[in-house]
Structure 1
Amino acid sequence: MAMLIVAGLCLLFLAWLIGKPYFIEWQRRRLYNRPFPQAWLEILRRRVPYYRLLPTDLQAQLRGHMQVFIAEKTFVGCADLHITDDMRVTIAAQACLLLLNRKTDYYPKLERILVYPGAFRVKKQEVDEAGVLSEYLDDLSGESWGDGQVVLSWEDAIDDARFFGDGRNVVIHEFAHQLDQEKGAATGAPILARAEHYQPWSEALGAEYAHLRQQADDELDTLFDYYGAESPAEFFAVITEVFFEQPQEMAAMHPELYRQLQSFYRVDPFGWR
């Protein structure tokens, strides 16, 4: 009898494992297709003017993705911040821009978005050329962690949404890191559609990354923030910000880099303005 019970439990567990992906997909389709709340739409139009620039089909995609994203991710207020729909909608709209026109698993490693009222302070370590380790405090507007969390400053999130076009957006930056981290540590090479795409990706981004590092060393004017010269992972996040915020400038000044991001994200923001 005990053996039959164990066998039955094993069969139920196996059925759950097999059926879980189908249930998740069914649940996501249900969330994606349900009517978008009018209150959320008002927040979206007020907080994220970029939304009005999107073609109508991409607006519909964005609304659907946002409903899945908000249902699956937990928003946590930090430093006594109370989470509101205003925050959820504004952050989700910017995060889901990176999911348009692509098969997505909705940032599968991400579980929580920690939101601070403004810039937050973190302890960092640095090793100098002599090998001496030092610690210091740094004020940040966002971080993407590999343990299922993104940390954001609400003040910066709403400012970046409002002033779209300056090439800087903390939500887009941190969620580009999340895409990069889907395969493990962030390296500047997210999961591409085909294996043969990695070589041209590496060649284009590698050359541009080296060029930005040289520009940063020489303190020359550049379309990309010098922060992108810190590492290939930061370079990918920085150029993603510019791709969505300043597509005309990027396409003109860095055409091959623009083509690589256009192929990866499967959208062309050039025509949205």
Structure 2
Amino acid sequence: MDTASLIFLLICAVGVGLFIYQTFWRDKLIRRRRFPLSWKETLTNNLPVYAALSPAERDRLHQLIQLFLAEKDFYGCAGLELTDEIRVTIAGQACLLLLNQNSPVYPSLMSVLVYPAGFRVDRETVLDNGTLAQQDHHLLGESWSNGKVILSWDDVEKGAADFSDGHNVVLHEFAHQLDGLSGSTNGAPPLHRNSYQSWARVFSENFDDLRSRAFRDQATVMDQYGATNPAEFFAVATETFFERPHALHKTRPDLFAELVDYYRLDPRQWHQD
């Protein structure tokens, strides 16, 4: 074996070793860290559903939060000073989506940008006549495909405080992160045990029904923003699943069943009917 080949093999061995360390031993050590009492107090005060979790679920949530905060960078924007309360409140809600998934903690996500309140962005928009125009948009959150999530802290607090109204910006944006793991944010995340054929049929039928109801301005259990496109439908369905599970099960039982299989949990046990 020549020197170049030997160096290449050594580099590969080091790379594999680092990968194994980061994905197994490092994660294992982080999960074993003692969860700070102040963080438990934050979850108790800022996330009402936390009290309804079983001891085993709380323990899993603590471990996921530890990994999330160890791996993701947080940045305060527009003068917002970051605190543990902000980080833990966001991580706690985001990790609810992963509670029983036994999967990596948002592997494509690198950073979370937090504004004190809703933020404005200029976007090119195609008008009805086909022309492009710069328009000002007021946003509560955004999920980007380049490893970033942007959130309004004011709306994060509101979404966490009322965990029964079906509106939660953290659940919404992190559902987009899960959706994007398939390579495209299109309402079809990588499935664990669901049938892709069943998922496509159920989501397509329910999406079409929501669009029809929204067009006729009829009452819907899901926010009508879910009728925008399949990606938004999945994100809004996730918000409703976690925050209004009894209502979603009653009105859209097939959609509810698909989400139970995907998230591997039933949030009805956390909510009184």
- TM-score, normalising length from structure 1? 0.95
Q: Which residue of 2 aligns with 1:244?
A: 242
Q: Is the 8 A contact 1:70 1:88 kept in 2?
A: yes
Q: Deviations over 1:190-231 (max 9, x none)?
A: 00014x711100000000000111111111110111110111
Letter in 2 for 1:99: L
Q: Which residue of 1 aligns with 2:99?
A: 100
Offset of 1:265 from its aligned partner?
Answer: 0.1
Q: Which residue of 2 aligns with 1:204?
A: 202
* Alpha-carbon distance between aligned partners in 2 of 1:74 and 1:174, rounded to the nearest angstrom: 16
Q: Which residue of 2 aligns with 1:157?
A: 156
Q: Secondary structure at the match of 2:130?
A: coil
* Alpha-carbon distance between aligned partners in 2 of 1:4 and 1:203, rounded to the nearest angstrom: 56
Selected match of 1:263 from 242, 261, 264: 261
Matched, 1:111 2:71: no
* Alpha-carbon distance between aligned partners in 2 of 1:28 and 1:82, rounded to the nearest angstrom: 28
Q: Deviations over 1:16-45 (max 9, x none)?
A: 222233211211111112210111111111
Q: Deviations over 1:78-109 (max 9, x none)?
A: 01111110111000000000001112111111
Q: Is the 8 A contact 1:55 1:272 kept in 2?
A: no
Letter in 2 for 1:118: A
* Alpha-carbon distance between aligned partners in 2 of 1:42 and 1:218, rounded to the nearest angstrom: 45
* Alpha-carbon distance between aligned partners in 1 of 2:148 and 2:96, rounded to the nearest angstrom: 19
Greater helix share, 1 or 2?
Answer: 1
Q: Which residue of 2 aligns with 1:27?
A: 26
RMSD: 1.4
Offset of 1:257 from its aligned partner?
Answer: 0.3
* Alpha-carbon distance between aligned partners in 1 of 2:76 and 2:4, rounded to the nearest angstrom: 43
* Alpha-carbon distance between aligned partners in 2 of 1:183 and 1:23, rounded to the nearest angstrom: 25
* Alpha-carbon distance between aligned partners in 1 of 2:227 and 2:133, rounded to the nearest angstrom: 21
* Alpha-carbon distance between aligned partners in 1 of 2:9 and 2:62, rounded to the nearest angstrom: 39
Q: Which residue of 2 aligns with 1:59?
A: 58
Matched, 1:13 2:11: yes
Q: Secondary structure at the match of 1:17?
A: helix
Q: Is the 8 A contact 2:222 2:237 kept in 1?
A: yes
Letter in 2 for 1:177: H
Offset of 1:125 from its aligned partner?
Answer: 2.3
Q: Which residue of 2 aligns with 1:42?
A: 41
Q: Secondary structure at the match of 1:183?
A: coil
Q: Which residue of 1 aligns with 2:131?
A: 132
* Alpha-carbon distance between aligned partners in 1 of 2:102 and 2:17, rounded to the nearest angstrom: 20
Letter in 2 for 1:240: T
Q: Which residue of 2 aligns with 1:192?
A: 191
Matched, 1:176 2:175: yes
Offset of 1:60 from its aligned partner?
Answer: 0.8
* Alpha-carbon distance between aligned partners in 2 of 1:173 and 1:218, rounded to the nearest angstrom: 25
Q: Which residue of 2 aligns with 1:84?
A: 83
Offset of 1:4 from its aligned partner?
Answer: 6.2
* Alpha-carbon distance between aligned partners in 2 of 1:189 and 1:16, rounded to the nearest angstrom: 36
Offset of 1:5 from its aligned partner?
Answer: 5.6
Q: Is the 8 A contact 2:182 2:188 kept in 1?
A: no
Matched, 1:229 2:227: yes
Q: Secondary structure at the match of 1:125?
A: strand
Q: Secondary structure at the match of 2:181?
A: helix
Letter in 2 for 1:174: E
- TM-score, normalising length from structure 2? 0.95
Letter in 1 for 2:45: R
Offset of 1:185 from its aligned partner?
Answer: 2.0
- Structure 2 gaps, min length 5: none
Selected match of 1:218 from 216, 236, 242: 216
Q: Is the 8 A contact 1:45 1:52 kept in 2?
A: yes
Letter in 2 for 1:190: P
Letter in 2 for 1:259: A
* Alpha-carbon distance between aligned partners in 1 of 2:36 and 2:7, rounded to the nearest angstrom: 41
